[in-house]
Structures are given as C-alpha cells and as structure tokens.
Amino acid sequence: MRACGVPAPAPAPAAPPGVTAALVAVLFLGLIVTAAVAAPPEPPSGLVWQDVPNDAGRAVMLEWKPSPADSARRVTAYVLERATAPGGPWTFVDSVTADKHEKKDQGVRRNTEYYYRVTASGPDGLTPALSVTGPVMAKSEWFNRTRWSVLVAIAMFFAFVLWFISQAQAGKKPFVRRIPGIDAIEEAVGRATEMGRGVLFVPGIRDINDIQTVAGLVILESVARLTAKYETPITVPVTYPIPFTIAEEMVKGGYLHAGRADQYDPNSVRFISPEQFAYVAAVTGIMLRERPAAHIFMGAFYAESLLLAETGFATGAIQVAATANVHQLPFFVVACDYTLIGEELYAASAYLSGDPKLVGSLKGGDLLKIAAIIVVVVGCVLESGHIHWLTQWMVTQ
C-alpha cells in the first residue's frame, strides 16, 4: 500500500560543468555589485567657506562639490555639522537636499572660530566626512554696501524737506492742491451732527509699527477736534494695545484743543482684538447697532476692507477711506464716497493742520518724486543700451 501525498519531484537534469561555472560567476558578480550599491555614498569634497558680506557677523556661507555618488542618485541629502575644535564634538547645523551644494549657516556666534564638515546621506547610510574646514569666523561689518542707493535717496529727501521747512519758516507757505477726500471729513462730521448721530473712526488693523497706523492716528486728532467742536460722539475701535493707548491720547487731545475736555467720553476709544475677523465682527456690530452717520477708515486694511465698507454702505453712512494698501483701494473706491489713494493718507495730517513746516515736508516728497521719475527714465535708457550699473547699484540686500 502506498501512502497518499505529493509526488516527489523528478530529479533535475544535471547541468553541464561550463554553465554551472558561468552561473556561479554571475552570482558572485551580483553579490559584489549589491555590496557596492548597499554601501553609503562617497563623501562630498571641496568644502569651502566664505563670510557673508554686509551683515552683523552672524552668518557663514558654505559650498562643497557633490559626492561622486550624486550622479547615480544614491545621495538623498547632505548633512552639515560644525564644531568649535577640529576634532569635535560635532553639532548638527542643517541638511539640504541632494541637488543643493551650498548652505548659509545663520546661527553662528560673533568672534567664535568654527570648524565645518559635510557628509552625504543615502538610503544605505551616512558616509564619513572627507575633510574638516576651518577655522571659520564671521565678521561684523560697519556698513552694508548694498544700501548706498537707499542712503543717497534718504539724504536727498532729508535735504529737500529741511530746505522746504526752512523756506516755510521764512514765511513762504508752499502751495498744496485741494484734496477733496480730506475736505469731505468735515462734511461727514457735519452731516453726522445734523442727523444727531455719531462718527466712527477706524484706524486700520495693523499695530503701531506700520506707518499707516501712525498716519491714521495723527488724522484722528484732527477728527476728534471736529467732533468735539460739533459736540458729536466719536467711536474709535482699535486692534492693538499700543495704538489703543495712542488713540486715547489723540481723542483726549482733540477735545482739549477744542476746549471741550469735559465732553471727552473714556468709552469712545475701544480696544477690540488683534484678530482680524473678530475685529470685523465688532466694528460691523457697532455700525449696525449704533448707526454712526459717518465712517472714516484711515490706515492699513486687508481683507476686512470690503466687509467694513460694504456694511457701512448698507447703513447709508457717508464714508471716507484712505489706505496705502494698493489691493484694497478698489474696494474702498467702490463702497466709499471719498477715497484717499496711497500717499494722500500720509499727506492728510499736514493738509489738515495747515502748518507750513508739515506742508514743507510734503513738498520735499514731491521733489524726490521728480528725482525718482528722472532715475526711472535714465534707468530705462541705460537698460535698453545693455548698461546695467544703475540697476545693479539700486539692488539692496
């Protein structure tokens, strides 16, 4: 009786001795190639450094030649390390992808010598570094040479402004064209007074480090004077704490200058929130609940510009807006009765005050504008003639 099961395989025919030798050779070569591929990539070479120019001595530029294994795509990243002694201990600085062969180390200390090494990393491991570069020391420079053009422009501007201010002090009041948008502020306050409703002043949504906020707050003082004069309530919702305290001073100052210090309402300036849409919710709520008859938007605005201006439009209030944020200007132009464009925001305080010294600063700006137009035209001519020195001189870092 035979046991049931899988039949035993028939014995394979014996291979000729030559074929066996060839198979063994192929297998052996395969093993060698596999071993070679499985090894970490060869190290990169030629690591050189350069102090980053025109900086405060806090950065070093490092460049290296790629690993020979880079072309075979066996390198996935280069790893940069540094130490304060050639023998280590080594600290990881950063890693870059295989297609990059340079890295700026921006974390160095001043007056400290460093040593760098670079290694190649691949799927089969990390290669040992070929060499160590150093000592490397970043230097702090006294002047950023790429900013000469800015320095010249600022020096010219200061000279123009100071000259016009001295002219103004000598009694020559410069002419400034009429700006209907600024004239409309008094009209708006007057209309709110006639309707027995308040004025809403929005000084933008940025902090005091944005000069547009400064410009808006300076205008607020003039608006507060008007509201004090007409005995019209004013509401100023503010996003950040520092503009909030300055806005309080501005409104207080406006009432004081108008001789109505006793009418100042401490709740007229309100801190809302630095969060953009929380601020929008609060301001649109004020528009809809308290129904101010005049809305004045002066400062830096972003996506909230249309939300505020359209809600204000729906309430039927007279609206005057000013911003230097180019992308928000169309929204204000559509939704507001008057819009101050770009530089008019910065001119408003000088225009409103009528102070010859402040107006002199506007004329200085105008003169620099003429200089800028001349530079643009000359630049176009030079570039058309393949002469690039002016353009290169104006590039800053």
Partner 1 sequence: MKRELPLFLTAVIGIFMILSFFVPHQLVSVPADFLQQCAVIMVAFGYVLGGANVLRVNFDGIYKQKPGWIYKIVLVVALIATVVVGAVEGPGFLNPGTRSKWIYDNIYSNMSATMFALLAFFIASAAFRAFRIRTAEAGLLAVAALIVMLGRVPLSNALTGWLPEWARLQTVQEWIMEFPQNAAKRAILMGAALGVMATGLRVILGLERSYLSGED
Query: Footprint of partner 1 on residues 189-208 (CB under 8 A)?
Result: 207
DSSP structure string for 205-247: SS-TTSHHHHHHHHHHHHHHHHHHHHT--EEEEESSHHHHHHH
In the window 91-120, what residues touch partner 1 (CB under 8 A)?
Answer: 110
In angstroms, the CA 297 to CA 294 distance is: 10
Residues 4-33 contacting partner 1, CB under 8 A: none
Question: What CA–CA distances, in Å, run from 231 to 34, 256, 319?
Answer: 90, 13, 20
**Mutual orientation of helices 343-353 and 211-230 as an angle, nearest 10°?**
40
Nearer of residues 191 and 270 to partner 1, judged by Cβ: 270
The 10 Å Cβ neighbour count of residue 234 is 26
Q: Is the dihedral of CA 218, 220, 224, 227 positive or negative?
A: positive
Give the residue with the Cβ less far from partner 1, 59 or 77.
Answer: 59
Site string for partner 1, 133-172 (x = CB under 8 A): -------xxxxx--x--xx--x--xx--x---x-------
Least distance in Å: CB of 344 to partner 1?
8
Residue among 60, 280, 317, 320 that touches partner 1 (CB under 8 A) = 280
Contact flag: residue 362 with partner 1 (CB under 8 A) = yes
Burial code (b: 16+ CB inside 10 Å, e: under 16) for 343-378 equals: ebbbbbbbbbeeebebbbbbbbbebbeeeeeeeeee
User: Which backbone phi and psi does 103 adopt, to 5 degrees?
Assistant: -155, 135
Closest CB to partner 1 among residues 100, 104: 104
Please give the distance of CA 10 from its chain centroid, rounded to a whole number. Answer: 78
Q: Cβ 183 to partner 1, closest distance in Å?
A: 19
Taking residues 326 to 355 in sequence order and writing x for each that binds partner 1 by CB under 8 A, - otherwise, the string is: x--xxx-xxx-----xxxxxxx-xx--x-x
Return the residues of window 201-240 that contact partner 1 according to CB under 8 A.
Answer: 207, 209, 211, 214-215, 217-218, 221, 240
Residue 186 lies near partner 1 (rule: CB under 8 A): no
Question: Closest separation between CB of residue 204 and partner 1, Å?
Answer: 14
Comparison of 15 and 372: residue with beta carbon closer to partner 1: 372
Window 242-271: residues binding partner 1 (CB under 8 A): 242, 244-246, 249-250, 252-257, 261, 266-267, 269-271
The least CB distance from residue 195 to partner 1, in Å, is: 17
Q: Which residue has the tokens 């020096």?
A: 155
The one-character DSSP state at 140 is B
Applying the rule CB under 8 A, the residues between 285 and 304 that interact with partner 1 are 285, 289-290, 303
Alpha helices by DSSP H, 231-342: 241-257, 276-290, 304-315, 329-335
Binding mask 50-79 for partner 1 (x = CB under 8 A): ----xxxx----------------------
Residue 56: strand, helix, or coil: strand
Q: Rounded to the nearest whole angstrom, what is the least distance from the CB of residue 123 to partner 1 in the complex?
A: 32
3-state class percentages of the chain: helix first, strand second, coil last, to nearest 5: 50, 20, 35
Compare residues 83 and 394 and give the one whose CB is closer to partner 1: 394
324 binds partner 1 (CB under 8 A): yes
Tell me which amino acid residue 200 is: L
